[in-house]
Amino acid sequence: MKYVGLTILLGFAFLAQAQSNQPSSAPDQHQPTNSQPSGALANVAETLAAAHQKLEHGQAQEAIAMLEPLAPAGKASLPGAQHELGIAYYRTGKLLPAEKAFAQAMSEDPNDMESVQMRGPSLYRLGRPGRCDSVS
């Protein structure tokens, strides 16, 4: 279940790469990557995938630095970004931001069972076990 978001992002990256390989009708093709929507989406997906790899290798602080710009607090973000950020915060002991990231991930994707499961222990460790049963 935790790889669903990453799979979706990789799909977006593949789609963006396929679109960027099509010939452009614009005469000047020397534009920076960040000015092209498909290039920006590919960069975001690559950043999310790289952050996931950092988490897999125990480098949660580096993952947080990569994910925070992708998942602004309280705002809609790229699918899976809040989930990954919650995992990174939890692994570094930042429980309040982890709980908030899991709550945001759950609101973005109600089927994100790992976020539901991780929000419970976050609330418990924050001293709010009574809220654990109302996480859904």
Overall size of the chain counted in residues: 136
pLDDT band at 74 (very low <50, low <70, confident <90, very high): low
Q: What is the pLDDT of residue 126?
A: 87
CA atoms within 13 A of residue 122's CA, in its CB half-sphere: 25
pLDDT tens, 20-57? 444 444 444 444 444 444 566 678 889 999 999 999 99
Residue 69 vs residue 73, higher pLDDT: 69
**Domains of the chain (ranges, CATH numbers):** 3-20+35-134 (1.25.40.10)
pLDDT tens, 86-135? 999 999 999 999 999 999 999 899 899 999 999 988 998 888 776 555 44
d(CA 96, CA 86): 10
pLDDT at 1 over 50: no
pLDDT at 8 over 50: no
Joined tokens for residue 133 = 């049963």
For residues 33 and 61, the answer to whether their CB atoms sit within 8 Å is: no
d(CA 22, CA 90): 41
pLDDT band at 72 (very low <50, low <70, confident <90, very high): confident
Q: What is the pLDDT of residue 35?
A: 41
pLDDT band at 76 (very low <50, low <70, confident <90, very high): low
Q: What's the first-to-final CA gap in the chain, in angstroms?
A: 17
For residues 80 and 41, the answer to whether their CB atoms sit within 8 Å is: no
- Count the neighbouring beta carbons within 10 Å of the beta carbon of residue 11: 11
pLDDT at 4 over 60: no
- Count the neighbouring beta carbons within 10 Å of the beta carbon of residue 131: 15
For residues 44 and 78, the answer to whether their CB atoms sit within 8 Å is: yes
d(CA 41, CA 112): 22
